[in-house]
Structure formats: structure tokens, C-alpha cells
């Protein structure tokens, strides 16, 4: 069901507008660092489903790269494109939309202290779901959000074990609704966008403490959803949504 014609998904050329100004500048200056602020991150990945390389430049995504584009990116980013096993694994937009109904991404905190799971629907409603699972170690959500995240570059086994635990995690006895301050932290870090009617979505979320054997002990779990201001995000619905997403993702990896 996935066409092989790259022109359908990727109209750009590696020698024209495909490389944005920052990538070209870094190429000419021979800089090795290609990650800037969150909105300007450049990352070449391999999709674990279709096995194709794809490129993310800021908020733009380029699946089904041509050989010309791939060769250019290899030189610009100082990456050996023939050693795909060294590149991070991430769902490309096409496979993610087909199998998961939207764009799904996973990143991990430094020293593997936890993971961030983010899903954005492919429908015009632009719903976004966020799940954070991390070792508590005295941290709160507002102290966690500013931390830099890294792509899951090693084996997916550890991440999948956390997903499996998340799917089967029992219903918590006590939950805490996000206060307004934490919703604002999320809005700054993860702009929620707007729906077709122009209404800006607002983050709502819940958190609780529990034990997570895959992460080695006490963790905090946070689930959040970006919805129109008038909509409510009931905790039970949010928990069920993440259980379904976790099961779907484990099923295709």
C-alpha cells in the first residue's frame, strides 16, 4: 500500500531547496554539530518498518529520500549513509500515519532516565498526546521539560519494555491534575497548534507516582493531551488511548 515513487512524497531536490539554509551553511563550514534548538533540529533516521531513510529538519519531514538527497545529507551531516545500523530508528511519517493513525515519535532522557512518547493525529483535528515516563529522583515536570532529549539510537528493547509496562500498568489510586503553570511549560516546549476552525489547542494532563521495573524503580508517569480550550480530557480516556497506542506500536516493531 506504500507507493515506491518518491516524487509523490518528496518534491525537493538535494541541489535546490531540499537543504535549508542552516544545513547548507553547516555543510560549507564543515561543522559536526547539527542539532540546534528544538525547532531547528536536523536528524537523519531509518524507519524500522519500511527500512527507508528519512530526514527531519525543524518541523519539516522528508520521507522516501532519493539517492541524490541521501548522498547530499550524508556529506552535510557527516554521516555514513551505508551504515544504516548506526542511525537512530524512528517511524517515518508515512508508516506512522498508516499503522498508528498519526505521527508517533520516541525520545529518551540523558542516561536513559526515561522516555517521552509523542503522537499527533493525521486528521485535521490535530490532536496531540504526550506521555512521559521518567525516574523521579526528586524531579518535577517543570524541571524535566527543559532537559534535552535524544533520539533512541541504540536497541529498541529497553524502550519497548517500558511501552509494554505502560500498556499493562494498573489504574493508579491517586492522580494529580496538571496545574496551570505546568500546562504553560508544556505549551512553550511543545506548541500545540490549532484545529481547522483556528482555535488554539491547550494542554491538559495528569501525573502519578508508581514503580516501573524496566526503569529500575520509582518513576513518575505523566499523560497529557492538547485539545480545544472548551474540551475536556478525562483521565480514563487518556489512559485508554495510550494503552491502545502502546499496543499498536509494539505490534509493528
Q: Look at residues 33, 55, 35 and name the one whose alpha carbon lies nearest to residue 45.
A: 55
Q: Detail the DSSP E strand segments found in the chain.
A: 42-46, 53-57, 60-62, 102-108, 114-121, 128-135, 150-151, 176-177, 202-212, 217-227
Residue range 112-155, pLDDT digits in tens:
788 888 888 877 667 788 998 988 776 666 655 555 666 665 56
> How distant is the alpha carbon of residue 223 from its chain centre?
14
> Average pLDDT by consecutive 10-residue portion of the chain (253 residues)?
44 45 42 38 84 84 88 87 82 85 83 84 77 78 61 72 86 88 80 60 88 90 84 81 83 69
Q: CA 169 to CA 192: how far, in whole Å?
A: 27
Q: CA 107 to CA 113: how far, in whole Å?
A: 11
pLDDT number for residue 10: 53
What is the SS3 assignment for 249? helix
Amino acid at each position: 500500500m506504500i507507493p515506491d515513487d518518491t516524487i509523490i512524497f518528496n518534491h525537493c531536490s538535494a541541489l535546490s531547496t531540499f537543504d535549508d539554509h542552516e544545513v547548507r551553511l553547516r555543510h560549507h563550514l564543515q561543522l559536526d554539530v547539527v542539532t540546534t534548538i528544538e525547532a531547528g533540529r536536523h536528524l537523519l533516521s531509518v524507519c524500522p518498518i519500511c527500512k527507508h531513510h528519512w530526514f527531519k529538519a525543524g518541523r519539516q519531514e522528508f520521507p522516501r529520500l532519493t539517492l541524490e538527497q541521501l548522498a547530499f545529507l550524508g556529506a552535510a551531516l557527516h554521516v555514513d549513509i551505508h551504515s544504516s545500523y548506526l542511525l537512530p530508528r524512528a517511524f517515518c511519517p508515512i508508516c506512522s500515519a498508516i499503522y498508528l493513525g498519526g505521527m508517533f515519535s520516541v525520545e529518551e532522557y540523558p542516561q536513559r532516565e526515561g522516555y517521552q512518547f509523542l503522537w499527533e493525529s493525521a486528521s485535521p483535528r490535530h490532536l496531540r498526546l504526550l506521555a512521559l515516563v521518567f525516574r523521579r529522583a526528586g524531579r518535577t515536570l517543570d524541571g524535566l521539560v527543559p532537559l534535552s532529549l535524544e533520539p533512541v539510537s541504540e536497541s529498541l528493547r529497553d524502550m519497548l519494555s517500558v511501552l509494554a509496562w505502560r500498556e499493562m500498568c494498573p489504574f493508579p489510586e491517586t492522580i494529580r491534575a496538571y496545574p496551570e503553570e505546568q500546562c504553560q511549560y508544556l505549551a512553550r516546549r511543545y506548541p500545540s497548534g490549532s484545529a481547522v476552525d483556528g482555535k488554539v489547542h491547550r494542554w491538559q494532563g495528569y501525573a502519578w507516582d508508581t514503580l516501573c521495573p524496566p526503569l529500575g524503580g520509582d518513576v513518575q508517569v505523566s499523560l497529557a493531551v492538547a485539545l480545544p480550550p472548551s474540551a475536556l480530557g478525562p483521565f480514563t480516556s487518556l489512559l485508554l488511548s495510550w494503552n491502545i497506542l502502546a499496543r499498536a506500536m509494539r505490534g509493528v516493531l
